[in-house]
Amino acid sequence: MQATSYWKDQLESLHHESYMWCLSCCNYDKDMAKDVLQDVYLKIYEDRASFKEKSSLKTWLFSVIKYTSIDHMRKQPKHIEKLSVSHSQIPESEIEDNEKENAFTKILEFLSAQQREVLTLAFYHGLTLEEIAPLLKISIGSVRTHYERGKENFKKLLLKYNLHTEIL
């Protein structure tokens, strides 16, 4: 797919959502998200990633973003370590220190990577569970499980750290 004006318009219409998904894939590292998105656009421009119309453009684009961000993360292992930390491993005092700074990011970090991805795609980007499954290359059953557990954990974390009042 060459970056003709048609495709430029298509990409531009999805740019904000692409960046937000990219941010999520890059563990909310803004600099890395910009680099990844730039790389994704370059892949599309150079035809190294081409849209085969097997899914919607948005689903395809999100898939390219996901796997490009994985490549970037492999080059910078510190991001993988950060992502793999579960909420049970982080002391409560650490939450209290930073909750005002970035409460929502902290909650997301305590969810498992897949729960966070499924919730982001479903709640923020409005994708259906059926669309999420091929994007994350997991079965629909797994998506449903991550969705349900993610919701439960998200709810618990909001209540546990009393952060729902700050967010709302």
Residue with tokens 């091929």: 134
Site string for other proteins, 103-132 (x = CB under 8 A): xxx-xx----------xx-xxx--------
Q: How far is the CB of 87 from other proteins (least distance, A)?
A: 16
Q: How far is the CB of 98 from other proteins (least distance, A)?
A: 14
Q: How far is the CB of 136 from other proteins (least distance, A)?
A: 18
Q: From the CB of residue 78, how many other CB atoms can be counted at a distance below 10 Å?
A: 10
CA 74 to chain centre: 16
Q: Is 46 exposed, middle or buried (0-12, 13-18, 19+ CB in 10 A)?
A: exposed
Choose between 73 and 163: whose C-beta lies nearer to other proteins.
163
Q: Is 22 exposed, middle or buried (0-12, 13-18, 19+ CB in 10 A)?
A: buried
Would you say the C-alpha torsion 44, 47, 50, 56 has a positive or negative sign?
positive
Of 23-42, binders to other proteins (CB under 8 A) are 23, 28, 30, 34, 37-38, 41-42
164 binds other proteins (CB under 8 A): yes
Q: Is 115 exposed, middle or buried (0-12, 13-18, 19+ CB in 10 A)?
A: buried
Q: Segment near other proteins (CB under 8 A), from 50-58, 81-89, 91-99, 153-161?
A: 153-161
Choose between 40 and 136: whose C-beta lies nearer to other proteins.
40
Question: 29, 1 in Cβ contact below 8 A?
Answer: no
Question: 91, 41 in Cβ contact below 8 A?
Answer: no
Choose between 98 and 137: whose C-beta lies nearer to other proteins.
98
167 binds other proteins (CB under 8 A): yes
- Interface with other proteins by CB under 8 A: which residues? 3, 8, 11-12, 15-16, 19-20, 23, 28, 30, 34, 37-38, 41-42, 45, 102-105, 107-108, 119-120, 122-124, 151, 154-155, 158, 164, 167-168
